[in-house]
Amino acid sequence: MADAQPTLSLEATQLLAEAPPRAERPELSVEENRQALLRSSQAFGPGARLWSVRDAEVAGRAGPIPVRVYRPAPDPRGVLVFAHGGGWALGNLETHDVLCRDLADLVGCAVVAVDYRQPPERRFPAAVHDVVDVVRLVLDDEAELGLGGLPVAVAGDSAGGNLVAVAAQQLRGHPRLVHQLLLVPALDTRPAEWPSYADFSAGMPLTRRDMEWYWQQYLPPAVDNADPEVSPFRCADLTGLPPATIITAECDVLRDEGEAYAVRLREAGVPADVRRCEGMFHTFMLFGRRLSAAREAQAFAAERLQQAFAD
């Protein structure tokens, strides 16, 4: 007898029932989708109160890159460079402010959130270049953010997980790059290869049509989908990457590629912890004030980062 298809937990079902219905992404314009995501972020609740939160700029290859720097204390234990999700095109510093505040508070580290250039106005590889540039400058103490000499990790959710996975691949071997935290990451452009795309293609907060629309906004015509800068899962050589923590949601089209990436990392000799959060949907990590599973996942991620910064 075949295993039953996973379903949302009661807690997740109740939360989603309270949210106003939204059209799938292809039914709205980019700007309408951006405003809808920003409105929905109001349900995430207040973030942790921190010692300092300030906006700044980092000098990237294409010009100044806006960042937001979160410090829980004057002397943080490390630096976490964070890339927000939202399908590359929709999220921003405000939609992920609560998560960044909470990670800074839980880990005791500074968080540098990157406001990377977005499609369709600035298509691939603009976002990759911005995230890689910020990580590299932080690692080399050239970001001028007052965070020199500290161990550095990267983190991102969904599309942001894609971007920081690319950054970790390109900057592998740097002695101060100690960890990568990938939260429900988008790592591949081939949905037909992942059963979770078939299992949760519709009826969830992230659908297959949504993901296809995101890729259409992000990628220019004739791009090579196997390029590791597009699909970090397709990188042929994963040796030498920093240890990873990968968190997936059971009821998410992106679940299988995230878990398969953990397997490939281990095969390449890279320590990789993966945690599947049962009964959860794609964006659950943003609801730390509403979902016990999100709080548990954040605590798990924070513990892994604390260990990485202490080693």
The pLDDT tens digits for 233-259 are: 999 999 999 999 999 999 999 999 999
* Other Cβ atoms closer than 10 A to 63: 9
Report the chain's mean pLDDT, rounded to a whole number.
Answer: 96
231 touches 254 (CB < 8 A): no
Which residue matches tokens 């040796």? 239
Determine the 3-state secondary structure of 207 from DSSP. coil
DSSP 137-186: HHHTT-S-SS-TT--EEEEEETHHHHHHHHHHHHTTT-TTEEEEEEES--
Q: Encode pLDDT of 25-40 as tens digits.
A: 999 999 999 999 999 9
Q: Clarify whether 129 is annotated catalytic.
A: no
Task: Give percent of the chain with pLDDT exceeding 90.
Answer: 94
Rounded alpha-carbon distances, angstroms, from residue 226 to 111, 170, 223, 301: 31, 16, 9, 29
Q: Clarify whether 174 is annotated catalytic.
A: no
Instruction: Give the C-alpha separation, 141 to 174, whole Å.
Output: 12
CATH superfamily name and code, 10-310: Alpha/Beta hydrolase fold, catalytic domain (3.40.50.1820)
pLDDT of residue 1: 40
Q: Domain map of the chain by residue range?
A: 10-310
Catalytic residue, chosen from 105, 115, 252, 256, is 252
Catalytic residue, chosen from 9, 41, 158, 196, is 158
Q: Encode pLDDT of 99-129 as tens digits.
A: 999 999 999 999 999 999 999 999 999 999 9
pLDDT of residue 3: 63
Determine the 3-state secondary structure of 84 from DSSP. coil
* Type of residue numbered 249: A
Mode of pairing for the β-strands spanning 52-60 and 63-71: antiparallel
pLDDT of residue 129: 98
Which one, of 71, 93, 84, lies nearest residue 147 by Cα? 71
The mean pLDDT of 3-14, rounded to a whole number, is 89
- Widest Cα–Cα separation across the chain: 59
pLDDT of residue 22: 84
Q: Clarify whether 97 is annotated catalytic.
A: no
**Cis status of the peptide bond prior to 191, with omega within 30 of 0:** no
